[in-house]
Amino acid sequence: MLDLTDCIAGKWPSIRASLKFFGELIPEDSIRKGGFCRELCRLFDRLQEAFARQEAAEKASCGLDGVAAEIFLQIDLEKKEVVLDKLFKYCDMDFHLFTELLEILQRRFPECNLLVPSLQGYELAREIRRFLGVPTVECVFLKGDSEERLLLGDALHGLSFEGILGDTQRHYEERGGVEKKRQELGPGRELSMYWRGKEGEEQVLWMQVRIALAKIF
């Protein structure tokens, strides 16, 4: 297991990141791991440079301790699984974080599935749909007017990822649009998603989704 969290702050102070590898690696995997880490460090270099070019007001909008972006990854080559625990950008930089990271993952681990265990933000969900396709929803935690409920297995029947994106889009269109809501929330807050089923409209607190990294169209 490799955790970069402790060494991030000195070289890349605007980034909070954790990279963990699990399982026994064959020599070929160790080479891929080293190449991935080098590419990730170059990504951090460019991200830090992009942050340094920001105006003071934009830098001030970042997260706690001036953190502009968070990246938390777990990679298990035995299970052929890349777990994206967190990916978030706190200020309006001209830097497409998801696509930059995705390109590296696809080059190094094309046989793996991407697992997002607690997908909350509408914008990341749209990017997954745009660049990878429609993922499988493995479970979803919903909040209605009177209760919260976890759906998995057969209880997911009738619920779909694209349905959630469509219902979320309608939710914001009925309230002035996505941009209006983003301005109301301010930096560092994710846009919630919504589902309209038999119980009425419910907020998607989080959902677990899975999709092949090599699925590109």
**Where exactly are the structural domains of the chain?**
1-111, 119-217
pLDDT value of position 6: 46
DSSP-assigned letter for residue 27:
H
Alpha helices of the chain — where are they, by DSSP H? 5-11, 27-52, 56-60, 97-108, 122-132, 161-173, 178-185
pLDDT value of position 170: 95
Mean pLDDT by 10 residues, the chain (217 residues): 52 89 84 91 91 79 78 94 92 84 95 96 94 96 93 94 96 90 77 92 97 76
- Residue 74 CB partners (closer than 8 Å, separation 6+): 20, 21, 22, 82, 83, 85
pLDDT value of position 119: 96
* Residue 100 main-chain phi, psi, to 5 deg: -65, -45
Per DSSP, the three-state class of 191 is coil
pLDDT value of position 4: 56
pLDDT value of position 215: 61
Select from 83, 209, 197 the least CA-distant residue to 142: 197
Beta strands 81-89; 113-119: pairing state? parallel
* Residue 189 main-chain phi, psi, to 5 deg: -125, 135
pLDDT value of position 64: 64
CB 193 within 8 A of CB 204: yes
Q: Is the pTM of this model over 0.85?
A: yes
pLDDT value of position 189: 79
* CA 105/CA 114 separation, integer angstroms: 9
Report angle CA 62, 65, 191 to the nearest 5 degrees: 35
* The residue type at 188: G
Q: Which residue has the tokens 């914008």?
A: 123
